[in-house]
Chains A and B, each alone.
Chain A
Amino acid sequence: MSGVLLYCIAPAGFAPQNMLEGVGRARVRAIDVDGLTAWVTTADRAPDVHIDAVRAHHAVVEASITDDVTTLPVRFGQWLESENVLRTRLLASRAEHQKALGLVQGALEFGVRVIPLEMAAQSAGGHLETGSSGREYMGQLVTRANEKRAHARRGEEIAAELRSAVGTHMVQERSEPLDPDAGLVSIAHLVRRPDFTAYKAALQTVSSRHADTRFHLSGPWPPYSFTT
């Protein structure tokens, strides 16, 4: 029996359109599992990791989302050795998926990556000078720790400011601090469709207060960050 590659989890009975293709141009089909519908393709093994495969996976997830239905995106490469294994796994986590489906209905995800215009020349992740005295070395460690704390604190402050500004226009937020050479903070907001315009306007208001910082907005995305 062939294995299956999983793309997304949809409400019961919500099946893909005919001829939709996934990774390796395999035809996407539906498997119903007690109140859930899994979108899969037949595959003998996990896919090779390549940007084309990543894009093909994402294209199926995007195709699964309509004005009326938001599905749960599945992480790339979720391959199971048989349909029976898939059914068993989905049944075991059925309640969790149904709860997540309820959360994301009518909503999509926006990403905000906050990046200072000038990255610190000596980031908290930089190398320590070698050949210095023990005192100097310890001083560098303290400086590095202080920089890292200040960096994290600034990211938290901006995340809080954003939360306050867009709070009424979003359903949920996920944020994660970034290393100094990658930016300040990466934030995902789950936003209902009718609130898209107000959400973006609120975000622009916050960004205008920070001339030294860029706010990179991306989306709307399938709700990859809100599946649990």
Chain B
Amino acid sequence: MSDDILQVGTSDVTLIELVNRVLDRGVIVSGDILISVAGIDLVYLGLELCLTSIETARQRNLMKGEGS
């Protein structure tokens, strides 16, 4: 089996998977889901990386001009 076919722990993919999980999944108890900071949707926060994946944003219709 080639690792080219089954890629385990590729760093970029792992980072996306981490961010997706920590920001988009898990128990919610407060009722307030953190999706923006200072009025800016998380998906637009540059920082060192985009803090949520594009597909997650699209599913939430957060991308400007989409879902409208």
Give complex CA distance A12, B59 in Å: 36
Give complex CA distance A223, B32 in Å: 21
- The chain A residues found within 8 Å of chain B, CB to CB, are 6, 8-9, 46, 48-51, 54-55, 57-58, 72-80, 86, 89-90, 93, 97, 100, 111, 113, 125, 176, 178-179, 181-182, 186, 203-204, 207-208, 210-211, 214-219, 221-222, 224-225, 227-228
| A215 close to B29 (CB less than 8 A) | no
**Which of chain B's residues 3-25 have a Cβ closer than 8 Å to chain A?**
4-10, 13-14, 16-25
- The chain B residues found within 8 Å of chain A, CB to CB, are 1, 4-10, 13-14, 16-30, 32-34, 37, 42, 45, 47-49, 51, 53-55, 58-59
| A51 close to B49 (CB less than 8 A) | yes
The 4 closest A-B pairs by CB, nearest first: A77-B34, A75-B26, A224-B21, A224-B25
Give complex CA distance A74, B59 in Å: 21
| B26 close to A224 (CB less than 8 A) | yes
Give complex CA distance A58, B15 in Å: 12
| A204 close to B6 (CB less than 8 A) | yes
| A75 close to B23 (CB less than 8 A) | yes
Give the residue name and chain of the A residue nearest to B23 (CB): A76
Give complex CA distance A68, B22 in Å: 23
Give complex CA distance A49, B45 in Å: 9
Give complex CA distance A99, B27 in Å: 13
Residues of B within 8 A of A74 (CB): 26-29
Residues of B within 8 A of A176 (CB): 59
> Interface of chain A, helix or strand or loop or mixed?
mixed
| B5 close to A54 (CB less than 8 A) | no
Contact of B37 among A49, A73, A86, A178 (CB under 8 A): A49
**Pairs across A and B, CB under 8 Å, 11 listed:** A9-B27, A51-B19, A72-B27, A74-B27, A75-B24, A179-B55, A208-B1, A216-B7, A218-B17, A224-B25, A227-B26
| B7 close to A214 (CB less than 8 A) | yes
Given A75-B25, A218-B17, A225-B25, the answer on whether A203 and B6 have CB atoms closer than 8 Å is yes
| B9 close to A49 (CB less than 8 A) | no
| A51 close to B5 (CB less than 8 A) | no
Give the residue name and chain of the A residue nearest to B28 (CB): A75
Task: Count chain A CB atoms within 10 A of each CB in B6, B10, B23, B53 and give the residue with the most.
Answer: B6
Minimum CB–CB distance for B1 against chain A, Å = 5
| A182 close to B53 (CB less than 8 A) | yes
Residues of A within 8 A of B16 (CB): 113
Contact of A80 among B6, B27, B29, B33 (CB under 8 A): B29
